[in-house]
Amino acid sequence: MIDLRSLPVAALVSGLFCLTTLPAHAQSAPASVEEQYREGLYLRETGRPYSAIETLETILAGNPTLNRARLEVAVAYYRTLNFAKARAQAQAVLDDPNTPDAVRLSVLSFIKQIELDEAAAFGRPHKLDYNLSVGAVYDSNVNAGPDNAVLPGGLLLAPGSTARADGGYALQAGVTHSWLSPTPVRSGESTGRFGWNSQLGVYYKGYGRLSEYNLGVLTAATGPALIMGKNWRGNLNFQADRLTLGDRKLALYTSFSPSATWRLNSGDEFTADAQLAYRNFAQPGDQGRDSHYSSGGFSYGGLFNRNRLTLQAGARMFDEEAMEDRYSNNGYEVFFGGRQNVWDGGDLFGRAAWRHSGYIGVEPFYGVARREDEYRLEFGASQQFKTGWLDKWQGSATVTIIQNQANLALYEYNRNLVQITLGRSY
């Protein structure tokens, strides 16, 4: 979103006209008009451009030749993305033969800036983006099995149920369509844009030997978005995910996810989001897993070290009500992550998370409900290539360490994943 305060042309137009010797009819403005004029400037510079427009337009209604007020209202219209009225007001000043030459030059530059920003903001309401990535994967525990086949209580696992390692590949492709309304939206003193975002994507992870654990995900999503300047944005996302495992249909997840992000005065951002989902499993033996899932959370992030370091932390709570109580669970998750730009185009990143789950129904054989704590540590590096045959591609290498602790040994496991990925957006 355009912020006029960062553009020197607008500041020059506003300031230069006030410093230049004004025509006699402008200099003789009554004191009450001068007070209104200063009030209009104050309203605009304190983030109330619509109130400023009302005040300055009132002045112009009684003093149509007061060009300093006309220029200031042009700047206010510009900040509300009303480029047509901003251009008309600036042109009126330009057409006045009494406008000083120094001001005339600045107004010409301002009008040119209006035309450029109008084309950038409204020239392409529709946008298509494509993305593609390929990767190599190593997984030390593809089936999330325990380390030992003999568990406390005399339970003996079937062959192949303990941790099994394998290597494989990961493919991902997608297309995203975004649309922004050509008409700005007013909310109080803020100006925004209404939009609509849609996405279609496919993901597939295949293993060399353990093909029964190959995972496929086909995703379709769509929903509205509202961007209110640089201060606030929100969206509603409707999504469907079709999952396959091996050569079988696994499940269909449908979800509704609202989210909102506020930008604070310090430049940091606070995000709140929620999700409501229905998980419908395809196989007859999995019908007890069908569930209604809900979650809500927040995150806080900011830029540091001259915008080279990004830090984010957050938490969320979740609840899943399944057809069978042994699959119903609730709990919470907390996380902390960061990304540091270390060299030209190169970043180091890391993320740590802790997830606690408590299940409702008792487990067969054990006669007690399951409790789990998952600890996940992820770190890696990425490189954005800018020359050669890899120009515009990004490579990354990620290591993920997972430790799942449970009150029932059957569900305890350790898992390490390594993935090297090469991808780009078009």
Contact 241, 209 (CB under 8 A): no
State residue 2's pLDDT score: 45
Partnered with residue 297 across adjacent β-strands are 273, 316
Structural domains in the chain?
4-122 (1.25.40), 126-425 (2.40.160.60)
State residue 14's pLDDT score: 56
State residue 138's pLDDT score: 98
Calculate the CA dihedral of residues 60, 63, 64, 69 and round it to 10 degrees.
-50
State residue 268's pLDDT score: 93
* Nearest partner of 362 among 354, 371, 372, judged by Cα: 371
Distance CA 392, CA 423 (A): 9
State residue 16's pLDDT score: 47
Contacts of 402 (CB under 8 A, 6+ apart): 374, 375, 376, 413, 414, 415, 416, 417
Helix axis angle, 67-79 to 49-62, nearest 10°: 150
Contacts of 400 (CB under 8 A, 6+ apart): 376, 377, 378, 415, 416, 417, 418, 419
State residue 34's pLDDT score: 87
Task: Dig out the tokens for 107 from the structure.
Answer: 């107004």
Label residues 231-267 b or e (16+ Cβ within 10 Å = b).
eebbbebebebbbbeeeeebbebebebebebeeeeee
How far, in whole angstroms, is CA 337 from its chain's centroid? 16
Distance CA 269, CA 276 (A): 24
Residue-wise pLDDT tens for the chain (426 aa)?
444 434 444 554 555 444 343 343 444 445 588 888 999 999 999 889 999 999 999 999 988 989 999 999 999 999 999 999 999 999 999 999 988 888 889 999 999 999 998 888 888 889 999 999 999 999 999 999 888 777 776 677 777 788 999 999 999 999 999 999 888 888 888 888 899 999 999 999 999 999 999 999 999 999 999 998 778 999 999 999 999 999 899 999 999 999 999 998 778 999 999 999 999 999 999 999 999 999 999 999 999 998 899 999 999 999 999 999 999 999 999 999 999 999 999 999 999 999 999 999 999 888 899 999 999 999 999 999 998 899 999 999 999 999 999 999 889 999 999 999 999 998
Give the DSSP letter string of 260-275. Answer: EEEE-TTS-EEEEEEE
